[in-house]
Structure 1
């Protein structure tokens, strides 16, 4: 286990005395949001899961961010990997209490979830990505894409047909990476912008029941 000075703020869906032995679903919010945002999805997900919604480490504007936006001059893959390494350092302190670890991310949070998967693919049961993307690795050895390809973990990727936030280059890269490295379930929702719908969460629940809970 690596050491980290980051002490994440985490919002839990269950009290501590009810978490032991349950499958853990770790939720990563989007840009300028916070840990309580995705906790609202808990009633739409299978009750078997304990949800841990994590606040990003960097305060910015009205909320928090995991790393700079990819078009900003201070963005780097190293910024992404440092953030994800801190996530894993925290996860290693709690995952032993749970039967499995599943990652869910919205928007930038999907980049965190997929990067965490790519670092330690054998330690993740499944990933849910909502209206988001995967980060090009630029050859950084932090990303174990060979191990990910060998494991072919289940990935649900849902996005809106009218999403104007996630740019076409990110969508293309994510599609190519996910198709090559994961067991991909891809859903495209007509009329949906950069958001999440109840119908989509129904599909997410089906995915989680058919992958994590079925095993």
Structure 2
């Protein structure tokens, strides 16, 4: 039996003929959502980038999930790393057509984006996390946090301190991990709850323009 490359459901902002040589920005949606959810952000992102929004692999309720919620009995780090490893398999099939690869994750999608970064940090130009979190590595060798710390890749993290979804322990861990390992740009937004504001999206565009496009 031959191993086949993982092929997730992906929606693209540009037709294939217009993607070559452009910076790739991959979007990861949140829990119970789908690949269309974050495409509404595209008009507010750098026009030079090709945006690819990926569907999580596990169908659940009205949408999809990357892995079980962390407080659920069937959660495991193995399920997190399996999702990330599969995504790297897909990224390896597309990344060479692009000038760089950056990642943007909303909510649970930020956990996915940071897991990808923590596996092969040298290959990721920048990460954006919106109303999300990173997962504790628990000693799993998949997470090469020492390599992340050495590289100090740029990470933008936008959050409302009153976010009703992301628990305080997740925020506390993520803040501690980010301060130690990445070049962190952390911005607090009052009144956005578990969402994304126009002001935040403008900050994300500025961050990507400066860190990825060097403009």
Query: Which band: TM-score by shorter chain?
Result: over 0.9
Instruction: Tell me what 2:111 maps to.
Output: 111
- Correspondence 1:101 to 2:98: no
2:106·2:132 contact (CA, 8 Å) conserved in 1?
yes
| Matched residue SS, 2:103 | strand
Compute the TM-score of the two structures, normalised by the length of structure 2: 0.97
Structure 1: any 5+ residue segments left out of the alignment? none
| Matched residue SS, 2:212 | helix
Q: What is the CA–CA distance in structure 1 between the aligned matches of 2:52 and 2:162, rounded to whole Å?
A: 29
Instruction: Tell me what 1:148 maps to.
Output: 148
Structure 2: any 5+ residue segments left out of the alignment? none
Alpha-carbon distance, 1:39 to partner = 1.0
Q: What is the CA–CA distance in structure 1 between the aligned matches of 2:57 and 2:188, rounded to whole Å?
A: 30
Instruction: Tell me what 1:48 maps to.
Output: 48
Instruction: Tell me what 1:28 maps to.
Output: 28
Compute the TM-score of the two structures, normalised by the length of structure 1: 0.97
Q: What is the CA–CA distance in structure 2 between the aligned matches of 1:108 and 1:7, rounded to whole Å?
A: 20
Instruction: Tell me what 1:167 maps to.
Output: 167
1:4·1:86 contact (CA, 8 Å) conserved in 2?
no
Range with greater deviation from structure 2 (160-169 or 131-140): 160-169
Instruction: Tell me what 1:136 maps to.
Output: 136
2:5·2:90 contact (CA, 8 Å) conserved in 1?
no
Instruction: Tell me what 1:75 maps to.
Output: 75
| Matched residue SS, 1:191 | coil
1:6·1:57 contact (CA, 8 Å) conserved in 2?
no
Alpha-carbon distance, 1:4 to partner = 5.0
Instruction: Tell me what 2:124 maps to.
Output: 124
Work out the number of aligned pairs and report it: 213
Q: What is the CA–CA distance in structure 2 between the aligned matches of 1:193 and 1:143, rounded to whole Å?
A: 29
2:34·2:56 contact (CA, 8 Å) conserved in 1?
yes
In structure 2, relative to structure 1, the CA distance for the partners of 1:4 and 1:71 (3 Å cut) is farther
2:107·2:133 contact (CA, 8 Å) conserved in 1?
yes
2:5·2:89 contact (CA, 8 Å) conserved in 1?
no
What is the RMSD computed on CA atoms of the aligned residues?
1.0
1:73-104 deviation digits (Å, cap 9, x = unpaired): 00000100000000000000000000000000
- Correspondence 1:19 to 2:19: yes
1:118-174 deviation digits (Å, cap 9, x = unpaired): 000000000000000000000000000000000000000001132110000000000
2:46·2:205 contact (CA, 8 Å) conserved in 1?
yes
Alpha-carbon distance, 1:40 to partner = 1.1
